[in-house]
Every structure is written in structure tokens, then in C-alpha cells.
Structure 1
Amino acid sequence: MGWLLVLLAAVSEIIGVVGLRFYSQKKTLRNLFIYVGGFGLSFALLYASFNYLQLSIAYVVWIGIGTVGAVLVNIIFFGESKNRTRLISIVAIIIGVAGLKAIS
């Protein structure tokens, strides 16, 4: 249950990042709701996951998935650059998060 909550929290964080991008471009109530709602739900789900998982592991996995997800969404849907250094950094984050999970 804890890992499902962390995964849902990370997806909500990515939604919040998309909302932040939309809100920074056009300040509408809809975009504000996506932005604040995404991050708010993300924090609530992450907090709930602490009942099942160690805080340090849940937080790192949440940050890792959220960061990689946000970068990939921005590359795929918003045309941000996908240079070699950026892709290597994404792989390094994934390896780091997987390594922390594996030793916990």
C-alpha cells in the first residue's frame, strides 16, 4: 500500500508541475487548481505513505519519480531540449533511487 501511495504522490507531483507551467503562462482558475491541487494531493499522499514506509526511502523515491517524470513530460510535451547530458542525468537519478531502494 505504501508504494502505491508514493507512486500516486509522484504522479500528482507531475500533474502539479504541469499545472505550474500552465499557470505561469496563463493565470486562470483552472490552471491554478491543477497546480495547487496536484501538489496538495501529492503531499497528502506522500504523508500517508509514511504509515507504511520509512520516511527517508519514501521521500527519495517520490522526489526521484517526480523529478524524472517532470523532465520527461517537459521534453515530450513542451519541447524542452533532450541533450545527452540531460538524459544521462535522468538515468543517474533512476539508478540512484533504485540503489537506495535495493539496500533498504
Structure 2
Amino acid sequence: MGWFYVVLAAVNELIGVWGLNRFSKQKNIANALLYAGGLGLSFTFIYASFDYLPTSIAYATWTGVGTGGVVLMNMLFFGESKSIIRMVSLLAIIIGVTGLKVV
């Protein structure tokens, strides 16, 4: 159940960041709800995961998946650079989070 909460937290973090990106360009209630709702739910789910997983593992996974997801989302949908250095850096995040889970 803990990992399910971490996944929900990461997905909602992506929704919140997407809303933040939209809100920074067009300030309206729908974008504000995406932003605040996504991040609010993200914090709620990560907090719930602490009942099942060590805080250090759950939090590190959530931040790693969220960071990697946001980078991918911005590269795919918002035109950010797709340079090889960014790809290698993203891979390093994935390896680091995976390493924490395995160890």
C-alpha cells in the first residue's frame, strides 16, 4: 500500500507542476486548482505512505520520480532542451532512486 501512495503522490506532483506551468502563463481558477490541488494531494499521499514505508525511502523515491517526471514532461510538452547531458543527468536520478530502493 505504501508504494501505491508514493506513485499517487508522484502523479499528483506532476499534475501540480503542470498546473503551475499553466498558471504562470494564464492566471485562472482552473489552472490554480490544478496547481494547488495537484501539489496538495501529492503531499497528502506522500504523508500517507509514511505509515507503510521508511520516510527516507518514500521521500527520496517521491522526489526522484517527481523530478524525473517533471524533466520528461517539460522536454516532451513544453519544449525544454533534450540534450545528451540532460538525459544522462536524468538517468543518474533514476539510478540513484533505484539504488536507494534496492539497498
* CA distances 1:43-85 after superposition (whole Å, capped 9, x unpaired): 0000000000000000000000000000101111111111011
Report the identity percentage: 57
TM-score, structure 2 length as denominator? Answer: 0.99
Runs (5+) with no aligned partner, structure 2: none
Instruction: Tell me what 1:65 maps to.
Output: 65
Instruction: Tell me what 2:50 maps to.
Output: 50
Hey, what's the Cα distance between the residues in 1 that align with 2:100 and 2:47? 19
Hey, what's the Cα distance between the residues in 1 that align with 2:96 and 2:80? 24
* CA distances 1:8-49 after superposition (whole Å, capped 9, x unpaired): 100100110000000000000000000000000000000000
Q: What is the CA RMSD across the aligned residues, in angstroms?
A: 0.4
Number of residue pairs aligned between Structure 1 and Structure 2? 103
The SS at the match of 2:46 is helix
Q: Which segments of structure 1 move beyond 4 Å, counting only runs of 4 or more? A: none
Hey, what's the Cα distance between the residues in 2 that align with 1:95 and 1:55? 19
Instruction: Tell me what 2:7 maps to.
Output: 7
TM-score, structure 1 length as denominator? Answer: 0.98
The SS at the match of 1:52 is coil
Q: Which amino acid aligns with 2:22?
A: F
Q: Which amino acid aligns with 2:91?
A: V
Q: Which amino acid aligns with 1:49?
A: S
Hey, what's the Cα distance between the residues in 2 that align with 1:71 and 1:65? 10
